[in-house]
Structure 1
Amino acid sequence: MSEITSSAHVASAGEVPSGKAEMIRSAADVSQLVNDSTQARSNARIVIGIALGGVFLDAYDLGALAFGIKDITREFNLTPAGTGMVASAITFGAIVGALIGGYLTDKIGRYRVFMADMFFFVFAALACAFAPNEYVLAGARFVMGLGVGIDLPVAMAFLAEFSKLKGRGNKAASIAMWCPTWYAAISVSYLLVLLLYAVLPESHTDWLWRLILGFGAVPALIIIAIRSRYMSESPVWAANQGNLHGAAQILRSSYGINAQVADNADLTPARPPRRASWRNYGELLKGIYLRRTILATVISVASSFAYNAVAFGLPVIIFSFFAQSMLTTILVSLALNLLFAFVGGILAVRLVPRFGAWKMTVLGYAFQLAALVGLAMIGRPEGGQEAALAMTMLALFLLGQGFGPGSHTMTYASLSYPTSLRGVGVGFNQTLMRASSTLSLFLFPLLAATLDTGVFWVIALAPLAGLMALLLIRWEPSGYDVDAEDFAG
């Protein structure tokens, strides 16, 4: 059996689906069947759910250290440089992982990469929980970051390639699901902190950060346990590699489509598919993909910079505005994330098939720009009315993030490129986005210390840049069959 055939993992197929046989003659036919699918897609839905489980892990692991870094600093007697090393290790791992993961996702397939990075999560989470010193902890967090960086390109590929093209639950809607999943994970980390604070004896509060980090192994182990029952290789990727028989089997097992390879199938096409290569990163900056890459990059970097400055600084912002206790600050942060960012993400999933990603991203950036200008003009609230208005501005920012750029930066990164370039496209996008995250997390405390609430004027430049890019490059990925570009003459 060839490497291509063996890599097209197929979940337990069961009986051959009944009904009319769908004859496959080329990779384009496989893509069309996925795009037009009206089947129940029980396994396909589960594949999407498992891929979103990977996104959940990404968000949880990135945010899990937020409420434990002070305890780690005290336990290991860290210098500021040591604290920075531990805090930033996962981000640097994610930058490296995104580049590697994008290439491997296109090279060896979605299934293999996804299953490998789950083991990264398990190993790294357990190593963090039992870390004897800051060097082991930083190394484990770097490995965890590799898993995070590798996972997003493959998760986005699964979401795009197991969803139909148009209508409710289309490719753009499936990809937008990453956003509420992300906010749900952040909320779970907040809730876990509250639970552990409540149940841990005061003499064992030093266990808190270890338990929070170690918990990340639990969902990864669940995914590993159910992978062989439901997970399959992407049928579009398998067909794109020339494995029509493997693609047909995946369609039968995951979609309930009675797909059969025709006797006159084009097994050796005159125009062979684009093969995975490190040079494909250069393809993102050529031809029709250049404008799409510029747009996807600008809106991702702008969204990441603004969101990280506000969301990760949210506890500090709330605390400084209202001088509340840490418990109240956690509860208010949790409420804002659930009621506005999470709800906005759900709205994005429901509305993008109707309105498109471009309009929703423009509106989301407009909300954010208005919110940040409002916060800058309010400054430090004096009195209840100004405090309430400042909270309203924070809520408006998170709502705009949820239904706008928070959801659809991934839509642009994933659906601007066909199957053969999707992995490197998302990998390239994530590498630059992670770099923006690192920069914003570094700059926000410095700018806030220098400018106080005037920092919001600086942050407002990010949604302004996103708006300008969208108005200059009017590209709508939702409902567009980008995978057909792999088969065009």
Structure 2
Amino acid sequence: MPPTTDPDSPLPGNGRDTTGAPATSLRVSTAADVHRILSDLGSRSPKATAVILLALGGIFMDAYDFSSIAFGMPAITEQFGLTGFMTGLVNASIMIGAVVGALSGGYLVDRFGRYRLFMADMVFFVVAALGSALAPEAWSLIGFRFVMGIGVGLDIPVAMAFLAEFSRLRGKGNRSERVNSWSPAWYFATGTGYVIVLICFLLLPMDQQDHLWRIVVGFGAVPAVIVLLVRRRYMAESPQWLADQGDLRGAVDVLRSHYSIDAELVPSPEDQESRSSARTRLSTVLELFAPRYRLRTISALCVSVFSTFGYNAVAYGTPLIITTLFHQGPLVTIVSSLVINLGFGLAGGLLGMGVVSRFGSRKVTLVGFTIQAAALFTLAAIGVPSSALVLVAVAMLAAFIFAQAGGPGANLMNFATLSYPTRLRGIGVGFNQGTLRAFSVLSLLGFPILASSLGTGVFWIVACAPLLGAISLLLNPWDPTGKDVDGEDLGGTTTSGTTHVEAAPAR
């Protein structure tokens, strides 16, 4: 009987014993062998950790580019003489690009791999950030924001695939925790944007304040350039994707170089057959609605759509809400937005990472939706706040962001990413993100219009989104936390988090 590998034990499977000396190597004959090794051991080496951090760096850029323009919208509206519709279009252009990027990126990341698409994203970010910062008029800004959105749409499926496929199935640093880590990274980026806004606001002379948004938007090119400079040293293709494509040699090489796993390729007749079929296999969006995946896809879509409607209205609209609906000045708006995102958003995201393995994505998301609905109904009941009620209103915005970061906002990626095996992961995330961004466009276009006509009464409408999200989870029992979807797809089972991997004598 082959030896059993304990996920929390240094032996066997990492090619080292407890003293650091070479141990037995792990045989790899099929894609299922690669899956079992990764499920058990995940990422333990510095290079694998670096891949995770670079993937989160992509998420940082996504969030920064999405939110960096939010505070500058009043100045942009005045400078370019925008109507209400054009203001909404400037806001929504990045989302429209993200729809295109996500729908195409989901297919491309499964077809051509994670590494190539990730590198292409960085170029999009650099060009679009600098172009947006230098835009001379509204249509140029809309065009570059659209290009930026394509980059974001391409990046999300790539980053989620890296986070899932460079992590173990269960135990410390498992896939659910790693995928959930996108949420604190998102709010850290959003908060960083407001830190830059605050610094520039305090340092720039009053007659230069109109250029504040250009500085903040252009800064988005900096992290993308950094990633481009360090990519060759640390980035690598997903070994599970390589194995699914039939490139077992490439998968073994990555296991050795980025996981410090002493894997040995042992070709078999089944391997030759799998290589032939893997390269010709083409998954489609229709498979997401096959009987095995149908409820998972519906659940992921419900969480994403109902989560994004409220988030786009509240998070992207936070400066608009505080300035226009709460009648506060620019400094209060900046500081409040900073505290809400960097304080409550980051804290909620970290809390969500800590509890998702224990309680599961479904329960955590359900609690988050419930808190959000309560916060929005409270804001609707308060109306235009005065005196002490301003603090209550801002606290409700903070509660909404806290619940979003730890609940539906974090776990929508768990539902979209971990409900499908590697061969479907890019398409699954891409389709989910494309649908999500389409609804984001509607909310970004509609919220300014509704807010201008309904005032704080708009919160009665927005509150329906988390309420419907909670109802959808009560009706659908699917929870992706800890599910071995790759083992299921490859015909294997993993019931307790312990897998069996055949060892070969060390040479």
TM-score, normalised by the number of residues in structure 2: 0.88
Aligned to 2:92: 88
1:314 aligns with 2:327: no
What is the total number of aligned residue pairs between the two structures? 473
Question: Taking structure 1 as reference, are residues 89 and 358 closer, same or farther at Cα in structure 2, changes over 3 Å only?
Answer: same
Please state if 1:332 is matched with 2:332.
no
Q: Deviations over 1:349-392 (max 9, x none)?
A: 111112111111111111112222222233333552x4443333
Partners of 2:363 and 2:31 in 1: how far apart? Answer: 32
Gap change, CA 1:291 and 1:61, over 3 Å in 2 = same
In structure 2, what is the Cα distance between the partners aligned to 1:92 and 1:315? 22
Give the aligned partner of residue 379 of structure 2.
375
Report the alpha carbon displacement of residue 115 of structure 1 after superposing the two structures with TM. Answer: 0.6
What does 1:28-427 align with in structure 2 at a 5 Å threshold?
A: 28-37=32-41, 40-78=44-82, 80=84, 82-264=86-268, 266-269=270-273, 272-273=277-278, 277=282, 280-319=284-323, 322-384=326-388, 386-427=389-430
Q: Do the aligned partners of residues 75 and 369 (structure 1) sit closer, same or farther apart at CA in structure 2, a change above 3 Å counting?
A: closer
Q: Is the partner of 2:271 in helix, strand or coil? A: coil
Which residue of 2 is the match for residue 471 of structure 1? 474
Distance 1:266 1:373, change over 3 A: same
| Counterpart code for 2:424 | L
Paired amino acid for 2:343:
L
After superposition, what is the alpha-carbon deviation per residue over 1:142-195, rounded to whole angstroms, capped at 9, x for unaligned?
111110110001110000100010122110110111111111111111111111
The Cα of 1:487 is off from its aligned counterpart by 1.1
Would the alpha carbon gap of residues 52 and 25 (structure 1) be closer, same or farther in structure 2, given more than 3 Å must change? same
Q: Offset at 1:339? A: 2.5
Compute the displacement of 1:217 (Å): 1.1
Distance 1:85 1:391 in 2: 27
Give the conservation status (yes or no) of the 8 Å contact 1:233–1:250.
yes
In structure 2, distance between residues paired with 1:297 and 1:115: 28
What's 1:3 paired with?
none
Q: Could you report, residue by residue, the CA deviation over 1:370-429 in whole angstroms, capped at 9, with x for unpaired residues?
A: 222222233333552x44433333232222112110100000000111101110100111
Are residues 1:18 and 2:22 paired?
A: yes
Q: Which residue of the other structure, out of 431, 436, 446, is the alignment partner of 1:433?
A: 436
> Are 2:455 and 1:452 equivalent residues in the alignment?
yes
Question: Runs (4+) of structure 1 moved beyond 6 Å?
Answer: none
Label 1:17 to 1:454 Cα distance change in 2 as closer, same or farther (>3 A): farther
- The alignment partner of 2:348 has SS state of helix
Contact 1:420 1:486 survives alignment (8 Å): no
Deviation, 1:17, is 9.2
Unaligned runs of 5+ in 1: 1-15
Find the aligned partners of 1:80 and 1:394 in 2 and give their Cα distance.
24
Which residue in the other structure is 1:11 paired with? none
Structure 1 distance, partners of 2:454, 2:112, is 49
Cα deviation, 1:245-273, whole Å, max 9, x if unaligned, reads 10001011111000111143732246934
Q: Distance in 1 between matches of 2:325 and 2:91?
A: 25
1: distance between equivalents of 2:451 and 2:330?
20
**Cα distance, 1:26 vs. partner?**
0.8
Shift of 1:315: 2.5
Contact 1:24/1:265 (8 A) holds in 2: no
Could you say what the CA RMSD is over the residues aligned between the two structures, in angstroms? 2.3
Amino acid at match of 2:404: Q
Shift of 1:41: 2.1
Residue 496 of structure 2: aligned partner: none
Distance in 2 separating the partners of 1:194 and 1:395: 19
- Asked whether the 8 Å contact 2:325–2:455 carries over to 1, the reply is no
Query: 1:175, 1:41 → 2: CA distance?
Result: 18
**Identical pairs, percent:** 50
**Alpha carbons 2:42, 2:169 under 8 Å: kept:** no
Amino acid at match of 1:343: A
Taking the aligned partners of 2:229 and 2:198, their CA distance within structure 1 comes to: 29
- Counterpart contact for 2:42–2:166, Cα < 8 Å: no
Deviation, structure 1 residue 325: 1.4
Kept in 2: contact 1:321–1:387 (CA 8 A) = no
Mapped contact 1:17–1:252 kept (Cα < 8 A)? no
CA distance in 1, matches of 2:398, 2:87: 31
**Alpha-carbon distance, 1:321 to partner:** 6.1
Whole-Å separation in 2 of the counterparts to 1:462 and 1:39: 37
Contact 1:39 1:256 in 2 (8 A): no
Task: Report the Cα distance in structure 1 between the residues aligned to 2:83 and 2:394, rounded to whole angstroms.
Answer: 35
Going from structure 1 to structure 2, the CA distance change for 1:74 and 1:231 (only over 3 Å counts) comes to same
Give the match's secondary structure for 1:284: helix
Distance in 2 of aligned mates of 1:425 and 1:120: 22
Cα-to-partner distance string for 1:434-486 (whole Å, 9 max, x where unaligned) = 11111112222233333333322211211111111111111111111111233
1:320–1:130 distance in 2 versus 1, CA, 3 Å: closer
Look up the SS of the partner of 1:312 in the other structure. Answer: coil
Contact 2:92 2:444 in 1 (8 A): no
AA paired with 1:389?
V
Q: Distance in 2 between matches of 1:263 and 1:321?
A: 66
**Alpha-carbon distance change, 446 to 473 in structure 1, aligned in 2, over 3 angstroms:** same
**Contact 2:246 2:279 (8 Å CA) reproduced:** no
| Separation in structure 1 between the aligned mates of residue 253 and residue 29 of structure 2, nearest angstrom | 14
Distance 1:482 1:237 in 2: 14
CA deviation map 1:276-331 (0-9, x unaligned): 64x61111111111111111001100000011112222223334565321111110
My pick for the range that moved more, 135-144 or 42-51, is 135-144
Structure-2 change in CA distance of 1:388 and 1:350 (3 Å): same
Paired with 2:432 and 2:161, the residues of 1 have a C-alpha distance of 13
Change (3 A) 1:214 1:313: closer
Structure 1 residue aligned with 2:7: none
Check conservation: 1:360, 1:404, Cα contact below 8 A: yes
